[in-house]
Amino acid sequence: VDEARSFDHSVALARASGARLISLHANAGDSAVAQMRDAATLLERWGLPRDSVTFEKRVHRCCDDPVETILDGLNRIQPDLVVAATHQRNSIARFFAGSRAEAIAHNVTAPPLLFSSDARSFVRDDTGTLALKRVLVPLGDDVESAAAVRTATWLANLVGSESIELVLLHVGGRGEPPTADLDGYTWRLENVVDGDVLGSILAHAETA
């Protein structure tokens, strides 16, 4: 985690869930630890106890390639969630194209939460309160849809908000959401019969 927005979200999520937070830096000298963001300083800014999140900074070395180094470090940590920053700024299409965060996201078993520098925040800057109200969940086949819904409801539980609305989006014909996995959650299904999958997701993401 090296960008302010992704770090803010990782600290807020760790506090909400009681998780242990580890910042991982690849292939750097020990002096890099002092330059890494500190959770206690951020918590103090939010008016919260400095020790309300268990936080650790780690510098990991193993490989010449920083992506391989991060993946090796994550394999040792076995996290429940990976939060990373990307440097693609113009759209979700570029956000997922050619970034190190994408390479990491495709090679970890834990859910990845990726932030571009201009992504909207769901952490309040002054209090650190999580304010996640709506999640867009693109659906695929039965297996993909079930996995997407499980991850979205897991995130809702992690945030601890009972008022989150899940917007289930299916492009191409009519989709059938795994309703058994949605018991107790507020959700609605939107079917786009015709259209480009990526374009439809981007359009709905603007309003979600």
Q: Tens of pLDDT along 61-70?
A: 888 888 888 8
**For the chain, what is the total number of helices (H) and then of strands (E)?**
8, 7
CB of 58 within 8 A of CB of 74?
no
The pLDDT of 11-18, averaged and rounded, is 93
Q: What is the pLDDT of residue 10?
A: 94
The model carries a pTM of: 0.81
**Looking at residue 202, what is its pLDDT?**
87
- What proportion of the chain, given as a percentage, has pLDDT over 90? 31
Please say if the pLDDT value at position 176 is more than 50: yes
Q: Does the pLDDT at position 94 exceed 80?
A: no
Query: 171 and 138 in contact (C-beta within 8 Å)?
Result: yes
Spatial CA neighbour of 14 closest among 22, 26, 2: 22
Strand partners, 24: 58
pLDDT at 184 (0 to 100):
85
Q: What percent of the chain clears pLDDT 70, i.e. is strictly above it?
A: 90
CA distance 15 to 7: 12
Mean pLDDT of the chain: 84
Query: Which amino acid would we find at residue 105?
Result: A
pLDDT digits (tens, 9 = 90+) for 68-93: 888 999 999 999 999 988 765 444 44
Q: What is the mean pLDDT of residues 25-45?
A: 85
Asked if residue 95 has pLDDT above 50, the reply is: no
Residue 29 in this model has a pLDDT that exceeds 80: no
Most confident of 114-118, 158-162, 197-201: 197-201
Q: Are 16 and 130 in contact (CB under 8 A)?
A: yes
Report yes or no: 14 and 21 within 8 Å, Cβ to Cβ: yes
Q: What is the pLDDT of residue 99?
A: 66
> Is the pLDDT reported for residue 170 higher than 80?
yes
